[in-house]
Amino acid sequence: MLPVALLIILTGLLLSGCATRLQAPALLGDPPDDLPRQVELEDTPFHPQDLYQCGPAALATVLNVQGIGITPHALVSEVYLPARQGSLQTEMLAATRARDLVAWPLPPRMDALLRELAAGHPVVVFQNLGLNLAPYWHYAVVIGYDLDEGIVILRSGTIERHVNTMGRFERTWRRAGYWAFLAQPPDRLPATATPLSWLRAANDLERTGRLEAAAGAYLTATRAWPEHPVGWIGLGNARYARGDLEGAEQALKELVTRDPTSHAGWNNLAHVLHARGCGPMAREAAACALRLAPDEPLYRRTRDTVAPQPGSGEECGLEIETWPNPGLKCPD
C-alpha cells in the first residue's frame, strides 16, 4: 500500500503546478535578436466593458480588427453566461469560428505572445487577476510591449491603455493556465503557428460546418507547408463536403503526386472520383490505397463503394486518355 500512497503524493505535487517558473525575467534578460524592442498596435479599437462583461468586450475588439463590425453588446447572448458572470473559453472560440475566422490557441509562452504582437496580431488573453484560492477571471487584449521598459500594454476592462509590468502580467496569465488565442482570417498564418496547431484550428472550422473558411485555412496550410500531407487531405475533404468536387480532386491529386505513398490520399481521391462518376479511375485509386495499406478496413469499404454498379451508366467529366496522369502513379 505504501508505494501507492507515495505515488498519489508525488503525482499530486507534480500536478499542483507549483513548479512552473516565470518566463519574463529570462526573456527580458536575453530577448531574441529578431524581436522588435517596442510594439504597440495603436489602431486596435477599445470597448470599455460593462459590469462583468469582459469576454464580449475583448472578443469584439479582435473581431473589429478583422473588419467585423460588432459591438460587445451584440456578443453578450453568444458568449456571456449571466449566472456565471463570465464567458467560457470554448464559447469565445466558437463565436470567433462562427464569423469564419480561425480561432487559434496560442502556445503557452511569453515569447510567442510577443512574436504575435510583432507580427501585428492582437492577442486575447485569459487572466486570473486574483489569487489561485480566490480567482478573479478576466479577458483582455494584449496590444503591445516594450522590452526596454519591461511592460505589456493591454486593452483591459474599462482602461483603454493598461500598462502592466511583464512579470506581473505573466503571473496573472499563468494563473489562468497561459490561455490565449488569436482570431485570424483563414489566409493569414500566425507568426508562431506550427503545421499541426494551425491544421487543428482549421479542422475545428471543418467540424463545425464552416466549410468555406476551413477550406481557406487548409489552403493556407498547403502553401506554407506543402510537404505536410494533412493540409492537402483537409483541403480535399472540405471542398468535397462543400460539393466542390473538381477542387477536391485537384487537392488530392496534388497530394498523391507529391507523396504517392499517401494511402489516405488515394482512398479519399477514390471517393471524389466516384462522386464525379469516374468509375474506372475511382477503382484504380481505391485499389492503390488498399495495396499500400492492405489491413485498413476503411479502404476495403471504399473498394466496395466504388465497385461497378450493374446498369448504372457512368459518365465521367474527365478525358479518359489523361488517366493515369503521367505524374500520378501508384507505387509498386
Partner 1 sequence: MTRHPLIRRLLTLLCIFSLLATVTSPIHAGMVGTDRLIQTEQGLVDRAQLLSSLERADVQQQLARLGVSNEEAAERIARMTDEEVRLINERLEDMPAGAASVLGVVVLIFIVFIITDAIGATDVFPFVRPVN
Cell representation of residue 144:
503591445
Among 31, 45, 86, 108, binds partner 1 (CB under 8 A): 108
Among 58, 93, 143, 264, binds partner 1 (CB under 8 A): 264
CB of 203 to partner 1, least distance (A): 5
**Angle at CA 165, nearest 5°, toward 164 and 170?**
90
Residues within window 231-260 making contact with partner 1, judged by CB under 8 A: 233-234, 237-238, 240-241
Does 203 engage in binding with partner 1 (CB under 8 A)?
yes
Q: Where are the alpha helices (DSSP H) in 195-308?
A: 195-207, 211-224, 229-242, 245-258, 263-275, 279-292, 297-305
Among 97, 271, 276, 283, binds partner 1 (CB under 8 A): 271
Does 285 engage in binding with partner 1 (CB under 8 A)?
no
**CA-wise closest residue to 113 among 21, 20, 24:** 24
> How many residues touch partner 1 (CB under 8 A)?
41
Does 16 engage in binding with partner 1 (CB under 8 A)?
no
- Rounded to whole angstroms, the Cα distance separating 148 from 155 reads 20
Q: Residue 150: left (phi > 0), alpha (psi -120 to 50), or beta?
A: left
CB of 58 to partner 1, least distance (A): 25
Among 100, 170, 206, 254, binds partner 1 (CB under 8 A): 206
- Rounded to whole angstroms, the Cα distance separating 170 from 133 reads 18
Nearest CB to partner 1, comparing residues 64 and 302: 302
Does 224 engage in binding with partner 1 (CB under 8 A)?
no
Phi, psi of 174 (to 5 degrees): -65, -40
Residues within window 17-46 making contact with partner 1, judged by CB under 8 A: 17, 19-21, 23, 26
Does 89 engage in binding with partner 1 (CB under 8 A)?
no
The CA R_g of the chain, rounded to the nearest whole Å, is: 25
Strand partners, 181: 105, 124
Among 230, 273, 278, 282, binds partner 1 (CB under 8 A): 230
Close Cβ partners of 9 (under 8 Å, ≥ 6 residues apart): none
Interface residues with partner 1 (CB under 8 A) are: 3-4, 7, 10-11, 14, 17, 19-21, 23, 26, 108, 196, 199-200, 202-203, 206-209, 211, 218, 229-230, 233-234, 237-238, 240-241, 264, 267-268, 271, 275, 298, 301-302, 305
